[in-house]
Amino acid sequence: MAENNRNRWLILLTVMVGTFLGAMDQTVVNLAVPKIMLDFNILTADAAWIATAYILANAVFVPVWGKLGDTIGRKKVYLWGFSIFIVGSILAGFAWDLGSMIIFRIIQAIASSADYPTAMAIIAVNFSNGKERAQALGIWSSAFALAIVFGPLIGGPLIDIFGWRSVFLINLPIGLIGIAMALTFIPESVSNKKSVSFDWYGALTLGTSLALLVFGLDRGYDWGWTSLPIVLCFAGSGLFMYIFYLIDSRHPEPIIDFSFFRIPAFVFTLVNNFLIFMCLMGGMFLIPIFDQTFLGLTATETGLQFVPMAFAIMLAAPIGAGLVGKLQPRYVIAMSTLVTGIALFLFVGLDVRSSSLDVIIPLVVMMFGMGFGMSQRTGVIAAVVPNDEIGSASAVLALVRNVSGAFGIAIFATLLNMSIEDNMLAISAHSVVNVHTPAVMQQATTLMYLDAQVLAYHTIFIIGSLVMILAAVLALLIDVKKTGKGEEGKEVVLEI
């Protein structure tokens, strides 16, 4: 019995390595983006696709891997995902331009998306006791917070000393350790209820719709919002989304169960989650660029700014969980959203004279606000759907979270470029240069462009804070009408 108990915890440690590696990769790549922009000679809107493509591919393939794991074996799928992720990381480390980087990031994302559903299933199978399973899932979720802390600590020095390619190549030794542990400790398992008709056409049409939509948002500024390619992107996105609805609404094992959307609390929780993560991911993408472009910080110094926010979310999460049953979820979620919006507004004061503390304080406030609302949002989803569909509903929540991140990065990067151009025109119209020598004119233009860029960041964060106010108001419409307990004393494990 002691041996089995020890093996279970070794299994938990093993899947935590995979989760940590995937989460850390997303953290350190954001730190590397400014260096990649210089190396590839690309703009912020172009660089946004390094993160956007990853998020989209990850979102679409999570249900694919989950179904395959249930059918052919979770250990097989976990190992396949881990192995492909290492290959994708090596390829990304040798990327020669933006196009190749995006392709290799998509390979990484498709592989990384295997971790979440298979790791959770492996833990659930090997920890049959409800209380022990909840403890194991809680420990497993801490891998995300650890990645936030150690990602910058590891990635910053790697970028400064060895260059941005090292943040991808470091995945090889860590990944090999993870694969060796998985081969040694994880037993094979399959679901008693195997999938026999996976919705491949639904997955394909959903992915196509999302890709066209985000691509249109990303390129709309450069190509013109009314240009034929952009109009076709949006029209194609709508068409494929409609086709996806027709397919999924009739499929016996749909990717998204559309009956959930008849539940108002479910819908408003998704909307709140979408708006929050849209602004969060968009802001988190821009901060490292601001740090290294205008404050002159190194990648290591930038990374260190993100460490305190991990402790903020670890402090706030149990506070939010402790409020379950004491306050209505709508009030906790609304307050969480409002605090996050206040944090975004604090970024409005950033300029070239700002210190690291001016960045750290808003980040800490933002993550604290996010932290104490996380369990409440997941709790609402678990409470308003039938108990045997909590897993499917949670998958929809995860999908919305990933898609909203792609939206946020694309929209924020596009709005930033539009605002820079508008500010440059306004500043030029109200500026007078008395000396017209080439050197003075060049210096004046540089200063005006610098001012236009900083003001554009202010505009972005003002917009983000206003969106958060809207999200907080909508959170008040969340009305939980039933508990998630189908029987007395049944325990529902919530993802924190």
Q: Cα(238)–Cα(258) distance, rounded to whole angstroms?
A: 17
30-86 residue pLDDT tens:
788 888 988 998 887 778 788 777 877 776 777 677 667 766 778 888 899 889 999
**Mean pLDDT along residues 90-113:** 90
99-103, 287-291, 343-347, 473-477: the lowest-pLDDT one: 287-291
Q: Cα(316)–Cα(481) distance, rounded to whole angstroms?
A: 26
Q: Cα(265)–Cα(274) distance, rounded to whole angstroms?
A: 14
Q: Cα(312)–Cα(342) distance, rounded to whole angstroms?
A: 15
144-153, 270-279, 292-301: the lowest-pLDDT one: 144-153
Please say if the pLDDT value at position 345 is more than 70: yes
166-181 residue pLDDT tens:
989 988 988 899 899 8
Please say if the pLDDT value at position 448 is more than 50: yes
Which distant-in-sequence residues (6+ apart) come within 8 Å of 282 by Cβ? 407, 408, 409, 411, 412, 413, 460, 464
16-33 residue pLDDT tens:
888 888 878 877 887 888
Q: Which helix (H) or strand (E) holds 59?
A: helix 44-72
Q: Cα(284)–Cα(269) distance, rounded to whole angstroms?
A: 22
346-397 residue pLDDT tens:
999 888 888 889 999 999 998 888 877 776 776 677 677 765 565 566 667 7
Q: Hunting for tokens 């979820």 — which residue is that?
A: 329
267-288 residue pLDDT tens:
998 999 899 988 888 887 788 8
Residue 324 main-chain phi, psi, to 5 deg: -60, 125
Asked if 414 and 45 count as a contact pair (C-beta separation under 8 A), the reply is yes
Give the sign of the dihedral formed by CA 206, CA 208, CA 214, CA 220. Answer: negative
CA 494 to chain centre: 19
Question: What pLDDT shows up at residue 232?
Answer: 94
